[in-house]
């Protein structure tokens, strides 16, 4: 099975979590993802109106390989949300909606490109792989409450899934 990632701002991410567009100053958006903007001589600032995740979180920094990649295993966090955001380059995130099952199914996996200036926060229980670079290996940040018990990586039922990035994603 093969899927192509779509831009997270152009797709429906609601089954998996919420999206913050830190580059937008549109006040008509969802109050849950509202951002505050300010500026002064030589600077411009944006921050989330609400805490990014629903608990205190640790900050992580991960290296992911380039697309295309085979998503063979996923994890989920039942007791914490997880925020994911770029360090510098776009990243690709493969996800599946929360289920009662002990593993995600290949047919339910979707993939999204997250550009710099965009943050996604995964709902508790959302299945996800590590992020990967669009064109090359990249580093990215994550924030979640750590130490809440085992977070085992499990095989994807019917997997692996080949995930590709759109050609125009980084240009």
CB neighbours (10 Å) of residue 161? 25
pLDDT in tens, 131-167: 999 999 999 999 999 877 776 899 999 999 999 999 8
Q: What is the CATH number of the domain that holds 84?
A: 2.60.120.480
Task: Give domain status of residue 36, yes or no.
Answer: no
Cα separation, 105 vs 39, whole angstroms: 45
Indicate the number of domains in the chain: 1
Does 39 map to a domain? no
In a domain, 103, yes or no: yes
- At 64-121, the pLDDT tens digits run 999 999 999 999 999 999 999 999 999 999 999 999 999 999 999 999 999 999 999 9
CA 105/CA 103 separation, integer angstroms = 7
Q: Does residue 43 sit within a domain?
A: no
Pull the structure tokens for residue 20.
């913050």
CB atoms within 10 A of CB 69: 22
Query: What is this structure's pTM?
Result: 0.92
Question: Which structural domain range is residue 114 located in?
Answer: 2-25+53-170
């Amino acid at each position: 099975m093969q899927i192509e990632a779509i831009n997270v701002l152009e797709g429906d991410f609601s089954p998996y979590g919420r999206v913050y567009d830190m580059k937008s100053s549109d006040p008509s958006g969802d109050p849950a993802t509202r951002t505050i903007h300010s500026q002064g001589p030589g600077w411009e600032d944006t921050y989330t109106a609400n805490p990014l995740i629903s608990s205190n979180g640790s900050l992580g920094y991960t290296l992911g390989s380039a697309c295309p990649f085979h998503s063979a295993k996923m994890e989920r966090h039942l007791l914490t949300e997880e925020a994911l955001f770029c360090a510098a380059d776009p990243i690709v995130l493969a996800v599946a909606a929360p289920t009662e099952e002990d593993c995600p199914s290949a047919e339910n996996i979707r993939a999204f490109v997250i550009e710099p200036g965009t943050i996604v926060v995964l709902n508790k229980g959302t299945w996800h792989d590590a992020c990967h670079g669009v064109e090359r290996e990249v580093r990215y940040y994550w924030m979640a409450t750590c130490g809440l018990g085992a977070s085992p990586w499990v095989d994807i039922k019917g997997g692996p899934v080949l995930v590709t990035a759109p050609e125009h994603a980084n240009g």
